[in-house]
Copies of this chain bind each other. A is one copy, B any other.
């Protein structure tokens, strides 16, 4: 039996574990699930004959080292900041390792030692980062092999609610960490390239600079810019590219309404509100509006942010009960972002039976034989239920597939790396098709960054 150690039994691991369990007999696998909560680990082990749940506190050196020493490959599904302890042990005991997280500086620093020992530390092989890297590089390499030159790359991903569960005015529910949604886009300006010009969007304008995306069969979406588009220039070898943009997908109208929270200051996370515990939702709203001896919170808000009387945004605010003078915040020393998160969780939590949806959209512009062309590639994945979600599927499957290939020595390129090599992305993208994760490619006229198709 080959031992696969999975550390961290969080939301995203259900599909990953099931993949290993389904292959356990044919691939001769023993799956060891380690978590700080033995109950979580046992739930995922699910009495499966080849699965074992163990208590694993990643900060307890002994239990961590024992588990790693015992394993044939290590999959770390911990929050990103905890990988490094696992990685150091994997180096010490010469184990290969797979994570779905961005390569941290500390992780990158291990590269030369990892190479020396001929180990594979594969990272960024979940959804985003992960499937985005693989699906993009497959098309980019194909165009290059044909002799084409990439001049535009735009890439968008969103974790949304499935159409059949889309029951609120925001067309949004929390299908992942709510906190990350509330503070999304903070911490600096978004930077990207449009037709050879560097562009910068400050946080407070991020949700007013969206663009539309159409996905056949699913209608229209919108996307706002991610902060870090430019780093993909060197990773993908796109030094001469004219347009490079990455963004986050929402349903149309979300960003315009979300911008109300940003403008008010409700997403701020760097100070706490006085007396937050005893404040009502209405008080919370009012703390961002000027005092008036006469005017209502409602009118002050409409005036301040120039919201017309018949604007649909207003109904979105009402749906969240933001003007309710009776509902209490009930969190002491809370930041605005923490309070807003609580208010949103009242309404945006998935109901039993709700399904999630992942949408990914790539645009590739290129020059081939003197002609400018464009390929758009889209992928939509819908969850089964609240355990086997689209998020858990698209994050977990590529991790599991990569781990099995590395265990089987089908992929042996050593070093701290991300999945941008053909030898890893081709077989995994192929296998993902068996799970319904497929990209639909459309050839289009190249318009450059010109979403409205305007002639100059």
Q: Which residues of A contact B (CB under 8 A)?
A: 188-189, 191, 194-195, 197-205, 209, 243, 263-265, 268, 270-271, 273-275, 283, 286-294, 336, 448-450, 454-456
In the bound complex, CA of A283 to CA of B196 (Å):
12
Q: Which residue of B lies closest to A447 (CB)?
A: B293
From known contacts A198-B275, A290-B199, infer whether A205 and B263 are also in contact, taking CB-CB under 8 Å. yes
Residues of chain B within 8 A of A205, CB atoms compared: 263-265
In the bound complex, CA of A349 to CA of B268 (Å):
35
A268 and B204 form a contact (CB under 8 A): no
From known contacts A291-B449, A292-B454, A294-B454, infer whether A198 and B273 are also in contact, taking CB-CB under 8 Å. yes
Q: Which residue of B lies closest to A274 (CB)?
A: B198
- Minimal beta-carbon separation of A246 from chain B (angstroms): 16
From known contacts A265-B202, A455-B294, infer whether A270 and B188 are also in contact, taking CB-CB under 8 Å. yes
Interface of A is mostly: loop
A293 and B456 form a contact (CB under 8 A): yes
Q: Which residue of B lies closest to A203 (CB)?
A: B204
Q: Which residue of B lies closest to A275 (CB)?
A: B198
In the bound complex, CA of A456 to CA of B291 (Å):
12
A202 and B200 form a contact (CB under 8 A): no
- Minimal beta-carbon separation of A152 from chain B (angstroms): 11
A200 and B293 form a contact (CB under 8 A): no
- Minimal beta-carbon separation of A229 from chain B (angstroms): 12
In the bound complex, CA of A200 to CA of B194 (Å):
36
B199 and A287 form a contact (CB under 8 A): yes
A-B contact pairs, 27 of them (CB 8 A): A188-B271, A189-B265, A189-B268, A189-B270, A191-B271, A194-B290, A194-B291, A195-B293, A197-B283, A197-B286, A197-B287, A198-B274, A199-B289, A200-B268, A200-B273, A200-B336, A201-B265, A201-B288, A202-B268, A205-B263, A205-B265, A243-B291, A291-B449, A292-B450, A293-B454, A293-B455, A294-B456
Residues of chain B within 8 A of A275, CB atoms compared: 198
Q: Which residue of B lies closest to A454 (CB)?
A: B294
A287 and B456 form a contact (CB under 8 A): no
In the bound complex, CA of A201 to CA of B289 (Å):
8
B290 and A209 form a contact (CB under 8 A): yes
Residues of chain B within 8 A of A456, CB atoms compared: 293-294
For A263, give its contact among B204, B271, B291 (CB under 8 Å): B204
B263 and A197 form a contact (CB under 8 A): no
- Minimal beta-carbon separation of A47 from chain B (angstroms): 52
In the bound complex, CA of A157 to CA of B290 (Å):
21
A199 and B454 form a contact (CB under 8 A): no
In the bound complex, CA of A286 to CA of B197 (Å):
9
Q: Which residue of B lies closest to A202 (CB)?
A: B265
- Minimal beta-carbon separation of A422 from chain B (angstroms): 31
In the bound complex, CA of A288 to CA of B283 (Å):
35
Residues of chain B within 8 A of A202, CB atoms compared: 204, 263-265, 268
Residues of chain B within 8 A of A268, CB atoms compared: 189, 200, 202
Residues of chain B within 8 A of A450, CB atoms compared: 292-293
From known contacts A201-B265, A204-B202, A265-B200, infer whether A189 and B271 are also in contact, taking CB-CB under 8 Å. yes
B198 and A287 form a contact (CB under 8 A): yes
- Minimal beta-carbon separation of A331 from chain B (angstroms): 16
